[in-house]
Amino acid sequence: MSVTEFAGVTKDKDRGITSKGGLYEFWTEEGAHVYLHDTDFKRLTYEPGRPPTLELEFAYDPRWTPPELSKTPVVAFRFEDVHLIEWYEDQEGQEGHDCVAASPDAPPGQVGQFDWDGADPFTLGTFTLRLVFHSPRAAVTVRAK
C-alpha cells in the first residue's frame, strides 16, 4: 500500500504513479501523458514552514510537448510534510571537472530519474542535482508557461 497520497493523477492503476514507473512517467486525471525525460527541471522551492512544502516545476520544450499538453506544458508537483534527506548540487562533476563546460549541450535541468517505489523516499536526479525526500501528500498540476 502506498504511503503517499497523490492528487491530480489518474486513478488507473496501469497509468498512475506506481512503484514501477515512479514519477518519471504517468497520466494526469485529465488523461494527459507526462513523461519527465522530455522535460527540463526548471524550479525548486522549499518552504520549511508547518507543514514543510516542496514545489518542483518541469517544462516541456515545444518540440517534445505531447499534443494534449500543448497549452499547458508546465508540470508542477507540490509535496507536503516534506522531510529532506539529501540535497546535492554538482556543478563541477565528481572529478572536479566543470560539468557544464564538459557537456555544454546537456541542459542542467535534464531529468535522469524521478524514482519512488511506493514506500521509500522520492529520488530526483537531474544533470546537476540529486534530491532525496519523503512526503505523505503530493499534488500534480499542469499549466501554461
Residue 93 pLDDT more than 70? no
Grid coordinates in use for 33? 501523458
For residue 91, the model assigns a pLDDT of: 63
- Whether 82 shows a pLDDT value over 90: the answer reads yes
Number of H helices, E strands in the chain: 1, 11
Residue 22, pLDDT > 80, answer no
Q: How far apart are the first and last CA of the chain?
A: 35
pTM (two decimals):
0.85
- Which amino acid, one-letter code, is at 82? V
pLDDT tens, residue by residue, 111-133: 888 988 777 799 999 878 899 99
